[in-house]
Each structure stands twice: as C-alpha cells, then as structure tokens.
Amino acid sequence: MNGVLSRALAGASAALCLMAAQLPAQAQAAWPTRPVRLVVGFAPGGTTDVMARTMSQVLTEALGQSVIVDNKPGASGNVAAQEVIKAAPDGYTLLVAPTSVETANPSLFKASFHPAKDLTAVGAVGRSAMYVVSRNSLEVKDAKSLVAYGKANPGKLSYSSAGTGTPPHLAAELFKQQTGLFATHIPYRGAAPALQDVLGGQVDYVFDPGIAFPHIRTGKVRLLGVASSKRSPFFPDTPTLAEQGIEGAEMDIWFGVWAPNGISPEVIARLNRELARALVQPAIRQRFADLGAEPAPMDAPAFRKLLDDEGKVLTALIKDRKVSVD
C-alpha cells in the first residue's frame, strides 16, 4: 500500500513540475492578451511617428490585439525613453525611436539613465539615408566639388540642419571632419525649415533625411551625393560620398524598437518575426518610401551590434566637434 501511494505521489509531483514548467511558455504564447503601446518621442506627423503608426497597423492585424501609438515628445526622444524604462517588462510598452536616442543623446543631454544599459534592444525596422543637397546657384556639381569650393573660398560656405545634435547635423559634422571642410552651421527647428532656406538660396547646403525628394526631382535643389554605404534606390544614378573619394562620412538614420529590461526573449522573437513578415509587404514598402526610407528589419543581436558601432562613432564625433545642445 505504501509503495502504491509513494508511486502515486511521485507521479503527481512529476505532473505538477511539468505543468509548472509549461506555464511560462503558455503565458508567452498567449502574449498579447491586451493592447500594446508604442511610445514615440516625437510629435505626430514626423518620420518616427509615421513609421510607428505603420507598424501599429500591421502588428494589430498580426497579433490580434490593438497596437496604439503614444506620442511623448521632448529632449530628442529622451522623454519617451524614460517612460519605457519605468514600464513593466511585459511586452505591452515599447519604444520606437531613431538610434540616436541611444547612440547620440547620452553625449548631448544630462540624464539619469542610459538607454544602452536601461533598455533592451528589440530590433531595427527601417533606415533613411542622408542626402547632400545644395542650392542651385552654388557653383558645384557634386560633393567632391563642394569640398573643393569650400577650401578655395574659406569662410564662405554655410549649411543648415534640423537642429543642433540631430542626426542631419551630426552627419554634416562627420562630413566636415572627414574632409577638413569649414562651413558655418545654421541650426533650425526641424528638417523642413532647414531645407526651405536652401531652396530660397539663403543657405548653401543641407544634409537632408529625405524630405527634399520632390524638390530634387523638379530641379529646385541639386543633389550632390548620398551619405550612405550604398546608392539610394530613389536616386540610383547619384554616387555615394565614398564613390566620390570621401571615405568614412557615411551616416544613415536607423529606426528601431526597444523594450524595458527583463522582457521575455520569446516576446522579442515574436515581435521580430511579425515585423519581418510585415516589412516586405509592397504597401508597407511604399509607405516607407513616401518618407524617403526603406524597411530594414534586423533581429536583436544584429541591432545591438549596429547600436554599439554607431555609438562609438557618434560619441567620438560629438566630443571632437564639441557639439553641445546647452
């Protein structure tokens, strides 16, 4: 009798252990069971916001739960990052941002947190190249001749940016660092006004994240080169800076997703699977193209490497060029 009872108890104990081991997997398989929030650190209508809203639509369909965008603008994405850092690591609060929130902001802003340590990188979703665009009346035909013109006319060149410390500004500073060019920086509050004064002839050139496309195509401004490792699919006949002999000046704007530390690897994997499926859809590719961007899904390890590599470049650049937002 005791032997039978012992065997029964042992069997029950094993069954309970098996059930306990299965519970986390079942819980993860059930994710999500309620709406998911994508926190965006910029105002509605900008590139990051539109990307997030595009993602929210496809993820809502794929996950079977509402995926909503919550705009928390301020401090170049830091306000949104802090919001996500404080959230529970359950997969229901995620950050959508340009990589600069981790790779540049810590060198530009005083903050009590560091996204590389206080957030978990989930994956990349897209990228936008930088385009060197000049006013039509400037007597240059490409980026190489822009550098030659600047060196032959010291102190005469000016360039605009979307604001001090923004990716277009840092791209322009990297270009100056790698070429030895001197040009006066004129910061604006956004990429649109920065481009507007190039169109009007008040400023010589700008590193544009893609909003100049219509004006390039109608000949209102001149495209001098692409600051990327490969030619743009939107302007395949325009050479990159490297092809013009300007090495080490590539800087794409990457966009990705982060989560609070402690998020389940299974949730990260599910998110990346669904995003990879969605981002190849023609309608999604066209929506990104309307922003001057390309879908570029990347899993967590590859995204982590991208962030680490970019962070080293931008930390050194900001220090060397004495870039300050104060």
Task: Give the Cα separation of 203 and 195 in Å (integer).
Answer: 9
Domain match, 274 and 259 both: yes
pLDDT, tens digit, for every residue of 54-101?
999 999 999 999 999 999 999 999 999 999 999 999 999 999 999 999
> Torsions phi, psi of 322, nearest 5?
55, 45
Task: Give the model confidence (pLDDT) of 92-118 as tens digits.
Answer: 999 999 999 999 999 999 999 999 999
- Predicted local confidence at residue 29, as pLDDT: 56
Burial class (CB in 10 A: 0-12, 13-18, 19+), 318: buried
Could you tell me which residues are beta bridge partners of residue 203? none
Residue 68 lies in a domain: yes
C-beta neighbour count of 145 within 10 angstroms: 15
Asked whether residue 140 falls in the same domain as residue 228, the answer is: yes
Domain membership flag for residue 17? no
Query: What is residue 133's predicted lDDT score, i.e. its pLDDT?
Result: 98
Please determine, for residue 176, whether its predicted confidence score (pLDDT) is greater than 90: yes
The pTM of the whole model exceeds 0.85: yes
CATH number at residue 299: 3.40.190.150
pLDDT recorded at residue 87: 98
Which pLDDT score is estimated for 62? Answer: 95
Count other C-beta atoms under 10 Å from residue 178's C-beta: 15
Domain final position from 198, 217, 244: 244
At residue 191, the pLDDT reads 92
Residue 16 tokens read as 């309970």
**Percentage of the chain modeled with pLDDT above 70:** 91
In a domain, 8, yes or no: no
The per-residue pLDDT for 16 is 43
Same domain (yes/no): 113, 43: yes
Report CA-CA distances (Å) from 236 to 22, 220, 223, 232, 233: 52, 19, 12, 5, 5
- pLDDT greater than 80 at residue 241: yes
Number of domains in the chain: 2
DSSP state of 182: -
Same domain flag for 117 and 260: yes
pLDDT of residue 30: 87
Yes or no: say if 210 and 291 are a contact pair by the CB < 8 Å rule.
yes
Contacts of 66 (CB under 8 A, 6+ apart): 35, 36, 60
Does the CA dihedral 60-268-253-194 come out positive or negative?
positive
Q: Are residues 135 and 203 in the same domain?
A: yes
Query: Which structural domain range is residue 84 located in?
Result: 33-127+253-320
Span 296-308, average pLDDT = 97
Mean pLDDT throughout 175-200? 96
Each residue's pLDDT tens digit, 243-285:
999 999 999 999 999 999 999 999 999 999 999 999 999 999 9
Q: Is the pLDDT of residue 155 over 80?
A: yes
Is residue 27 in a domain?
Answer: no
Return the residue matching tokens 């995204």: 303
Supply the DSSP string of 196-237, one letter for each residue: HHHHTTSSSEEEESSTTHHHHHTTSEEEEEE-SSS--TTSTT
Domain with 207 in it: what CATH number?
3.40.190.10
Which phi and psi angles does 208 have, rounded to 5°?
Answer: -105, 135
**Single residue among 190, 221, 244 that ends a domain in this structure:** 244
- Is the predicted pLDDT of residue 127 greater than 60, yes or no? yes
Report the alpha-carbon angle 26-32-37, nearest 5. 150
| Closest to 138 measured CA to CA, from 128, 129, 149 | 149
pLDDT of residue 9: 42
**Does 306 have pLDDT greater than 50?**
yes
Report, in this order, helix, strand and coil percent for the chain, each rounded to 5: 45, 20, 35
Q: What is the pLDDT of residues 4-40, one digit of tens each?
A: 444 544 444 444 444 444 444 444 458 999 999 999 9
